[in-house]
Amino acid sequence: MARLTQAAGRRLVAGVPILWLLLLFLIPFIIVFRISFSEVRLAIPPYTPLISWRHGAPSLELYGSAYSFLFTDPLYISSYLYSLKVAAVSTLCCLCIGYPMAYAIARSGAASRPVLLMLVVLPFWTSFLLRVYAWIGLLKNTGVINNALMYLGVIHHPVALLQTDFAVYIGIVYSYLPFMILPLYANLEKHDMALLEAAADLGARPLRAFLRITLPQSFAGILAGSLLVFIPAVGEYIIPTLLGRTDQLMIGRVLSDEFFENRDWPVASAVAILILLLLVMPIMLFQRLERRQLEAVK
C-alpha cells in the first residue's frame, strides 16, 4: 500500500512539470512547424487550415510556399548568414575577453574569489534592456565616447559607432560576458595546480605549459561558455534593434517583422523552423554538457 502511494506520488511529482512543458513548450513547436506549411490568407487566424473539407471528405493541405519564398529571396539568406557571422564573431570576442578574466578569478585568493564572481554576475541581475540602452548613450555621435575623443583631440569629427556591426558586437559581448565567464571559471577552478608545477619543474615555459596543459583541460568550459553565448546570439532581437545597422537585419528581427509588420504567420514560422534547424546541433551539445556536469557534481 505504502509502495503504491509512493509510486503514485512520484508519478505526480514528475508528471506535473512534464505535462506543463508538453502543453506550453513542445506542442507550441509542433504548431509552429505545422503553420510553416500553410499559406497566408486574409482571415482570423491568417493562415490556411491543415485539413480542409472538400466534397465531404477531409483533405490534407500542405504548402511549401513559405520555405520556397525564404530560399529564393536574397534578403532572408543574407540575414541568415549575417546572424551566423555576428554570433560567431561575438562568441570569439567573448571567449578572448572572458577566458583571461575567468583565469584570473580562478587563480586569485580564496577570499577575493566570491567578491570577484559577484562583480561579474551583478550586472546580470540588472535589466538586460537597460544595459543595452546604456550603450546608445556611449556610442552615438554626440555620445560619451565621441565627446571624449574630440575633447582629447584624437578626432575632429564624430565617428559613426552606433548602427554599425561594431556596436552589435559590443552589445552582445557586453550582455553575454557573464555567461562565458561562469562555465570557464567553474572549469578552471578545478584544475590541479600540481600539473603546472610539474611542467615548470620539467622546464616548460609558462606559455607552453598553458597551451599544453591548461588550455586542453579547459575545453569543456570553453565549449559550454561558447554555446551559451552563440545560441541566443543567433536569434538576438533587442541588441541589433537598438544598436545595429538598419540596412542589414538579423534573423530574429526578420522573424518578428514578418509576424508583426507583414502579418505573414507562415513565413515567420518557417523562419523559426530554419533557425531551429541551425541550432539543433548546438542545443543538443549543450544539453549533453549540462547533463555531464550535473552527473559530475554527484
User: Rule CB under 8 A: which of 139-178 touch other proteins?
Assistant: 140, 142-144, 147, 174, 177
* Cβ pair 161, 140 in contact under 8 A: yes
* Shortest Å, Cβ 164 to other proteins: 17
What one-character-per-residue DSSP string does 74-131 give?
Answer: HHHHHHHHHHHHHHHHHHHHHHHHHHHHHHHHHHS-TTTHHHHHHHHHHHHHS-HHHH
- The three-class DSSP label of residue 67 is helix
Among 14, 62, 155, 160, binds other proteins (CB under 8 A): 14
CB of 240 to other proteins, least distance (A): 11
With contact defined as beta carbons under 8 Å apart, do 199 and 213 qualify? yes
Bridge partners, 52 (sequence order): 59
Torsional class of 181: left (φ above 0), alpha (ψ -120 to 50), beta (otherwise): alpha
Q: Which of 63, 67, 133, 166 binds other proteins (CB under 8 A)?
A: 133
List 92, 238, 245, 248, residue binding other proteins (CB under 8 A): 238
Segment 168 to 227, residues that bind other proteins, using CB under 8 A: 174, 177, 200, 206-207, 210, 227
**Closest approach of other proteins to the CB of residue 127, in Å:** 5
Residue 120 interacts with other proteins (CB under 8 A)? yes
Cβ atoms of residues 124 and 176 within 8 Å = no
* Binding span for other proteins by CB under 8 A among 18-26, 54-62, 63-71, 152-160: 18-26
Quick one: 30 or 55, whose CB is closer to other proteins? 30
Alpha-carbon distance of 159 to 146, in angstroms, equals 7
Of 236, 239, 241, 231, nearest to 261 by C-alpha is 241
Out of 185, 221, 265, 267, point to the residue binding other proteins (CB under 8 A). Answer: 265
Contact flags string 39-78 toward other proteins, x per CB under 8 A: ------x---------------------------------
